[in-house]
Structure 1
Amino acid sequence: MSKLTEDVKKNTALFVSDSHKSETVWGLCNDQGQWLSLDSSEFEDSEVMPFWSQAEDAQCHCVDEWASFVPTKLSLEEFLEDWLTTLAADEVLVGLNWNNELDGEELEPKAVLDLYL
C-alpha cells in the first residue's frame, strides 16, 4: 500500500528517505526506451520528468495514456550524478513522488540534489 498522501512536502521527504535507504529511484520508460516527461502543471513552457521512491507508486500511473510505460529502476548514484546533471542541462524539472492525483512537487534538478546534502 502506498505511503503517499495529499501532502506534497511529506511525499518529497519520503522520496528522499526511501530512495536513500533503498539506493534506488523509479521512473517510467516505454519499450522504445523513451522516458516519460510531460508539460509542467506549475511552470509555463517547462517540462517535468516524474520519479518515485517505490516501484508500486510508479506502477499505479501506468494506465490510460501512460499504459505503454513501465516502472524502471535507476540507482540513486546514477540519478544524482548523471540524470540530475542532464535534466539541468536540458532545463527539465523533476517531479517527486506524485500521488494518485498527480499532485507533487516539481523542482529544479539542483534543488533535488540539495535535498540529499
Structure 2
Amino acid sequence: MKDNQQASTEFAESIRDNQQMWALTAGNDEDWVVVDSQFNPEDEVFLVWSSQEAAQAACTDEWDIYTPSAIPVQEYLDFWVEELGAEGVLLGLNWQDEQENTEIKMIDLAKALLDTGVYKDQ
C-alpha cells in the first residue's frame, strides 16, 4: 500500500488536465456519499474520484440513486477544505468496495494540489 503523501500526489496529478474531481450526489448539494472510515469507524470519509467514469462505476447497489458530480479544484480549495476539513471529514481517493482504500485529510490533498503545481492561483 502506498503512503498517503504519494497517493495525494498521484491523485492531484491525475486531475491536472481537467482541474476537477468527482463525487457522488443524489442530485442536490446536500446528499453526498460519505462512508465510515475503514480504519477508524468514528471518522467520516467523503469519497472522490479522479474521473467521471470511475465515479459512475461506483453507482451500483445501494449507491445506484447517486450520480457523479464534478468538484472544480478551485471550489475544493475555497470551500470543501475549510468546511469539511474543519469537521474532521477525511477524503477517500478513488474508492473501490472490498479493497483497502486511501483515506487522507482534506488539507493533504490541498497541499498536494499546490505543491505539484496542479493548482495555480489565477
Contact 1:60 1:100 in 2 (8 A): no
Report what 2:48 is aligned to: 51
| 4+ residue runs over 3 A deviation | 7-14, 99-103
TM-score (norm 2): 0.79
Report what 1:25 is aligned to: 21
User: Which residue identity does 2:64 align to in structure 1?
Assistant: A
Question: Aligned-pair distance for 1:46?
Answer: 0.5
The alignment partner of 1:78 has SS state of helix
Question: Aligned-pair distance for 1:32?
Answer: 4.6
Gaps of 5+ in 2: 116-122
RMSD: 2.0
CA deviations on 1:26-85 (whole Å, 9 max, x unpaired) are 000003541110111112300000101100000011000111100001111101221111
Gaps of 5+ in 1: 1-6
Report what 1:82 is aligned to: 79
How many residues of Structure 1 are paired with residues of Structure 2 in the alignment?
111
TM-score (norm 1): 0.82
State, as a whole percentage, how many aligned pairs show the same letter. Answer: 28
Question: Aligned-pair distance for 1:12?
Answer: 4.4
